[in-house]
Structure 1
Amino acid sequence: MKSDVGSLARPLRGIIPPMVTPLADRDALDVAGLERLVEHILAGGVHGLFILGTMGEAPSLSHRLRHELVDRVCALANRRVPVLVGIIDTSFVEALGLAHKAADAGADALVLPAPHYYPAGQPELLEFLRHLVPQLPLPAFLYNLPNHPRPMFDPETVQIAAAEMPGIVGLKDSSANMTYFRHLQFLMADRPDFALLMGPEMLLAETVLLGGHGGICGGANLLPRLYVDLYAAACAADMPRVQTLHRKVTELARTIYRVGRFESSFLKGLKCALSCLGICSDFLAEPLHRFRGPERDIVQRHITDLGITTNGFVSP
């Protein structure tokens, strides 16, 4: 089936939060928390939702639970914003199956990383895309996850794939490598309809000021309006406001994301903060686990000190 790219804005712009997955236990959703989280994020004026990415713990979730999440989020969003669904899997067939599930549920686009586990070369990645993309029922964004056991799409691979396959409509880059991002912008300069979206939120303002189309920022789960306002300020080149709002993003990164000792602290801290605010559960899929008492107390103190409420980021 050919990807239908007609119903999605080209390029997709703005803040598309990579939504956490509220869990009640290892194979059950926190349904009430999911409903509160979706409404909390949408109330912040975001431009889309991205589910089943890294922040959503997709590789650790059963296929059954992933399918349930897709159904519930698409129903909750109810066409208010586009819903992007990550099809992260080691299996070509399972990724394709999830893509069709997303289309049936009413999602708007897919997010497609390089296959993980086996180290693929760029010609192999391009062949993989040539096999998969024509079968996708929705437009797809490529997804660079260089800090995980998978290769990145080289800029030239992205350029060739986008030229050959109309179903590829953009890329989310989580490399935090602005040299890579600028190289990609140069190669895609003749494709103003191709969305280039930044993952690391500390680079959101810089990306938009340099012509990028927006950000897929994890902190927008907690403070959606902050990132929407920063995006708008960068679009307007309002540098005093950009600096003020970027400082708030930095404060979040230097506090809540740094509680704990392991690389997973950013996700644990974010889910813990959402739990402290009464939005959703902070249960994490194994092998990760939620913060226990001492770390939770630290997160709560940061929330208080920073003036974070369910209504936004208010300086004390």
Structure 2
Amino acid sequence: MTLPAPLNGVVPPVCTPLTPDGEVDTGSLVRLVDHLIGGGVDGLFVLGSTSEVAYLADRNRRTVVDTVVGHVGGQVPVLAGVIDTTTPRVLDHAAVVVGAGADAVVATAPFYTRTHPAEIARHFRLLAERAGAPVFAYDLPASVHSKLGTELVLELAGAGVLAGLKDSSGDEGGFRRVVLGVRAQSSLDSFSVLTGSEQTVDSALAMGAHGVVPGLGNVDPDGYARLYAACAAGDWERARGEQERLCALFGMVGVGDPARMGGSSSGLGAFKAALHLRGVIDCPATAFPQIPLSLDEVERVGKYLAAAGLL
């Protein structure tokens, strides 16, 4: 389908349901897609951090994008992550996902290698030249160890290299500078600025962001759709109430014991446990070597769902 310019609304990063032996559970993935579209989302982002893209073999990545694009059938745009360490590897992923029918690609700056801002700019320029689809930059300094500067983002946007930005940096001042920079240039009317911060969506939309890419949106897409609608209508009191309910629900990401697991195991494990408890996916397994939640921790996830009116 033709990608809206700018892309607006709720675009959740889709979890990747797995079987107990670590293969993609396509049946559960289809049900998850239906759950999200039924909840009123405006697009889908597959193969991002919440999708456990860093853990997926190339064949699993291909299964995910083929399954989602084929099932969606143009109902909403599908953005696909092409996240990898360096430009040649990213270009290979881009060829696969665009060939499968993804409407846009999402890429971070190169990582593992030490890169200069000029090299980061060249990376995105080469991707835009060769991908055959619009390119969204993914600002994720906690994992990539390289912050995308405001000037670089606006320069690449102005040159038509980038169609949008997914900002998961947590730098609200920097995020606002991008929003203001986009607003100041009429040539950037089609550039989309999306926040990846689930807990400050109302603030980001009040600043002028176009939408949100919420991992928690897998669990409660209806809640984020209501939040976006309230903000779009200028009903900030209703938006604040919905945002605060979602903030309380987001507490589930901390159920995992930090003495025995990392933050990804806890957060992604909680999202998948919640989807399992809600009957959306068959198995809450996360990819190896992440640590599974205990029965007690899963029970705590259930309490968060119940408090939010989702069980």
1:290 alignment partner AA: P
Gaps of 5+ in 1: 1-5, 310-316
Deviations 1:195-220 (A, max 9, x none): 00000111111111111101001111
> What is the CA distance between 1:183 and its match in structure 2?
1.1
Which residue pairs with 1:229 in the alignment? 226
1:234 alignment partner AA: C
Contact 2:78 2:103 in 1 (8 A): yes
> What is the CA distance between 1:27 and its match in structure 2?
4.4
> What is the CA distance between 1:263 and its match in structure 2?
1.6
Distance in 1 (CA, whole Å) between partners of 2:64 and 2:309 is 31
Distance in 1 (CA, whole Å) between partners of 2:279 and 2:292 is 15
Which residue pairs with 1:269 in the alignment? 270
Which residue pairs with 2:297 in the alignment? 295
Contact 1:119 1:151 in 2 (8 A): no
Q: Superposition pairs for residues 90-129 of structure 1, below 5 Å?
A: 90-129=85-124
3-state SS of the aligned residue for 2:142?
A: coil
Q: 2:151 aligns with which of 152, 156, 162?
A: 156
> What is the CA distance between 1:149 and its match in structure 2?
3.5
Structure 1 residue 184 corresponds to structure 2 residue 178: yes
Structure 1 residue 174 corresponds to structure 2 residue 168: yes
Contact 2:195 2:211 in 1 (8 A): yes
Q: Give aligned pairs, total.
A: 302
Q: What is the root-mean-square deviation in Å for CA atoms of aligned residues?
A: 1.5
> What is the CA distance between 1:119 and its match in structure 2?
2.9
Which residue pairs with 2:209 in the alignment? 212
Distance in 2 (CA, whole Å) between partners of 1:7 and 1:276 is 35
3-state SS of the aligned residue for 2:35?
A: helix
Contact 2:192 2:210 in 1 (8 A): yes
3-state SS of the aligned residue for 2:163?
A: strand
Which residue pairs with 1:312 in the alignment? none
Deviations 1:212-262 (A, max 9, x none): 1010011110110100110111111102211210111111122x1220123
Contact 1:283 1:289 in 2 (8 A): no
Distance in 1 (CA, whole Å) between partners of 2:303 and 2:249 is 12
> What is the CA distance between 1:279 and its match in structure 2?
1.2
Range moving further from structure 2, 291-300 or 213-222:
291-300
Distance in 2 (CA, whole Å) between partners of 1:92 and 1:243 is 41
Distance in 2 (CA, whole Å) between partners of 1:149 and 1:34 is 27
Contact 1:27 1:61 in 2 (8 A): no
So what's the TM-score if we normalise by structure 2? 0.93
3-state SS of the aligned residue for 1:240?
A: helix
Which residue pairs with 1:11 in the alignment? 6
1:272 alignment partner AA: A
Range moving further from structure 2, 226-235 or 274-283:
274-283
Bigger proportion of residues as helix: 2
> What is the CA distance between 1:92 and its match in structure 2?
2.4
Q: 1:59 aligns with which of 28, 35, 54?
A: 54
2:255 alignment partner AA: V
Range moving further from structure 2, 211-220 or 123-132:
123-132
2:297 alignment partner AA: E
Distance in 2 (CA, whole Å) between partners of 1:19 and 1:242 is 23
2:201 alignment partner AA: L
Structure 1 residue 76 corresponds to structure 2 residue 78: no
> What is the CA distance between 1:268 and its match in structure 2?
1.4
Contact 1:19 1:52 in 2 (8 A): yes
> What is the CA distance between 1:25 and its match in structure 2?
4.1
Contact 2:109 2:144 in 1 (8 A): no
Which residue pairs with 2:286 in the alignment? 284
Q: Superposition pairs for residues 35-46 of structure 1, below 5 Å?
A: 35-46=30-41
Distance in 2 (CA, whole Å) between partners of 1:197 and 1:251 is 22
Contact 1:109 1:138 in 2 (8 A): yes
